[in-house]
Amino acid sequence: MAKKIMFVLLLVFASATPVKQAEAAIPWAEIIKQAIKRVVRAMDLLVQRRQNRQIRLQNAQKALENTMAKLKLDEIEDWVKKQRDLYKEYYQELKKVKAVISYYFRIKAIADKQTAILKQYQTAWSLFRNDKHFTAQELGHMRNIYDGILAETGRCVELLELVVRSFTLQMTDVKRLEIIERSADATDQILDELNSFNQENKLLSLSRAKNEFDAKVVKSLYGLQ
Give the pLDDT score at 82: 65
Give the pLDDT score at 192: 95
Give the pLDDT score at 194: 95
The count of structural domains within the chain is: 1
Residue span of the structural domain in which 174 resides: 28-222
Give the pLDDT score at 212: 92
* Distance between CA atoms of residues 39 and 161, nearest Å: 6
Give the pLDDT score at 195: 95
Asked if the structure places residue 16 within a domain, the reply is no
Mean pLDDT by 10 residues, the chain (225 residues): 40 42 55 76 73 63 54 53 64 68 83 90 93 94 90 88 77 85 93 95 94 93 89
Give the pLDDT score at 128: 95
Burial bucket for residue 107 (CB in 10 Å: 0-12, 13-18, 19+): buried
Asked if the structure places residue 11 within a domain, the reply is no
Asked if the structure places residue 170 within a domain, the reply is yes
DSSP string, 159-196: HHHHHHHHTTS---HHHHHHHHHHHHHHHHHHHHHHHH
Give the pLDDT score at 6: 42
Asked if the structure places residue 53 within a domain, the reply is yes
Asked if the structure places residue 91 within a domain, the reply is yes
Asked if the structure places residue 128 within a domain, the reply is yes
Asked if the structure places residue 6 within a domain, the reply is no
209 φ/ψ angles, rounded to the nearest 5 degrees: -60, 135
Give the pLDDT score at 202: 95
Give the pLDDT score at 16: 42
b/e per residue 110-138 (b: at least 16 CB within 10 A): bbebbbebbeebeebbeebeebebbebbb
Give the pLDDT score at 8: 37
* Distance between CA atoms of residues 125 and 137, nearest Å: 14
Burial bucket for residue 186 (CB in 10 Å: 0-12, 13-18, 19+): middle
